[in-house]
Amino acid sequence: MYKYSLVIPVYNTEKYMEECISSIKNQTYKNFEVLLVDDGSTDTSPALCDKFAAEDERISARHIENGGPARIRNIGIRETVGDYVWFIDSDDFLASRTVLEEIDNALSENSADVLFFLSEEFNENTKEVLKRQADYGYEGFRDISGEELIVEAQKNGALMPMATSPVNKVIKRSVLTEKELYFVEHFRWHAEDEFLNKVFFNSKGFYFFNKVFYKVRVRPNSITTTINPEILFKKIMTRLELVDICCRYFSETESKEKFKRAVYSYYSYYYIYGINSYFKVLDKDKRKAIREEAKKRDFVFSCMKKTDSQNLRLLGNIYSIFGLRAALFTIKKRYN
């Protein structure tokens, strides 16, 4: 039996915390701890955190100045003590009472470094299911290295759903602490996209459940479902930095060239999909700032030339010969 550390950032979610915490407390499996970290909430969420902590000794509460979920998840990695860590959002909840029991049964037999499961989005107002995450293409235990997983998953188109959310997996704590894997705290968006492939790379043994264990609440007017020009600009700038960090990180690892080609391909397309948003930015000063940042963080173009994709290699060469504007023009024509 393993102990599970559930790390939950809390920010102005007073309406949803009861359902979230109840779905955890009502689990048939009882060997867990919950760390609630209030991120400077201005509603009654801080008081609710303290209330839940007072009612159950497995729950603890902390209060910090607003710093974003990445900072809170790092606090969770450092301060909780479970064998596995699960990052949960305070407006979501577990899909059934047996989720932790099923997870522990699987891990007790296989001791994977990372266990994956599915999430399902639903509309807060109508309760209608909006999106069920697609199956991973794997089932059960895979006794392979992180390098092998990333190469396979990128080839099969499964890496993106694996690597863009921290809520649909549990991760062995020792992988995080021994390799010093933490979220980039100044990333207010996309921090998990930088974090998770590093986790996979440093892991061995993976378990896959093609079953919904986690319910994601979609609030129609929330910050994640509305288009805000300032947020769009910041997200693009974050993506540029993120891709640069990740490409440089993996370029310095002692890994096989086959792996590097796969991970470069992943982050090249991640870059392309992100930079496509550049064409939606109307403010001239912001467009100029994005171009200047892209020029500073152009290592990805040299990585494109090392992939197996003819289109990516062409784009890398266009940048080398003709510069950023020509590369942006090519991206708009080919991928927009």
Domain boundary among 163, 194, 218: 218
Rounded CA separation 125/147 (Å)? 42
Host H or E run for residue 34: strand 32-39
Domain boundary among 191, 218, 245: 218
Domain boundary among 218, 252, 274: 218
Same domain for 167 and 276, yes or no, is no
Which range among 41-50, 81-90, 123-132, 316-325 shows the weakest confidence by mean pLDDT? 123-132
Q: What is the pLDDT of residues 85-118, one digit of tens each?
A: 999 999 999 999 999 999 999 999 998 999 999 9
Tokens read off for 74: 């790092």
* Backbone phi, psi, residue 21, to 5°: -70, -40
Same domain for 149 and 252, yes or no, is no
Same domain for 63 and 115, yes or no, is yes
Same domain for 172 and 61, yes or no, is yes
Host H or E run for residue 142: strand 140-145
pLDDT exceeds cutoff 60 at 225: no
* DSSP H helical ranges for 157-309: 159-163, 173-178, 191-201, 229-251, 257-275, 284-296, 299-304
Predicted pLDDT of residue 223: 52
pLDDT exceeds cutoff 90 at 222: no
Rounded CA separation 315/309 (Å)? 10
Q: What is the pLDDT of residues 43-62, one digit of tens each?
A: 999 999 999 999 999 999 99
Same domain for 295 and 168, yes or no, is no
Predicted pLDDT of residue 126: 87
Same domain for 72 and 175, yes or no, is yes
pLDDT exceeds cutoff 90 at 127: no
* DSSP H helical ranges for the chain: 17-25, 45-55, 69-79, 99-110, 146-156, 159-163, 173-178, 191-201, 229-251, 257-275, 284-296, 299-304, 310-322, 324-335
Same domain for 272 and 198, yes or no, is no
Tokens read off for 148: 């092998």
pLDDT exceeds cutoff 90 at 207: yes
Does residue 141 lie in a domain region?
Answer: yes
pLDDT > 70 in the chain, percent = 98
Which range among 82-86, 120-124, 160-164 shows the weakest confidence by mean pLDDT? 160-164
Contact status, residue 327 vs residue 278, Cβ threshold 8 Å: no
How many domains in the chain? 2
Cβ neighbours of 230 (radius 10 Å):
9
Q: What is the pLDDT of residues 277-302, one digit of tens each?
A: 899 898 999 999 999 999 999 999 99
Rounded CA separation 126/208 (Å)? 30
Please enumerate in sequence order all residues whose Cβ is within 8 A of that of 295, keeping only pairs 6 or more positions apart, or say none: 324
Domain containing 165 — which CATH number? 3.90.550.10
Rounded CA separation 38/7 (Å)? 11
Predicted pLDDT of residue 242: 97
Spell out the long-range contacts of 132-140 with Cβ–Cβ below 8 A and sequence spacing 24 or more.
132/212, 133/161, 133/168, 133/212, 134/161, 135/210, 136/161, 136/162, 136/208, 136/210, 138/206, 138/208, 139/208, 139/210, 140/207, 140/208
Same domain for 126 and 239, yes or no, is no
Contact status, residue 145 vs residue 175, Cβ threshold 8 Å: no
Predicted pLDDT of residue 131: 93
Does residue 224 lie in a domain region?
Answer: no
The chain-wide mean pLDDT, for the chain, equals 95
Which pTM value belongs to this model? 0.94
Contact status, residue 194 vs residue 184, Cβ threshold 8 Å: yes
- Give the three-state DSSP class for 240: helix
Predicted pLDDT of residue 336: 76
Predicted pLDDT of residue 219: 81
Residue 81 belongs to domain spanning:
4-218
Cβ neighbours of 197 (radius 10 Å):
26
Contact status, residue 103 vs residue 4, Cβ threshold 8 Å: yes
Does residue 328 lie in a domain region?
Answer: yes
Predicted pLDDT of residue 35: 98
Same domain for 317 and 256, yes or no, is yes
Same domain for 236 and 171, yes or no, is no
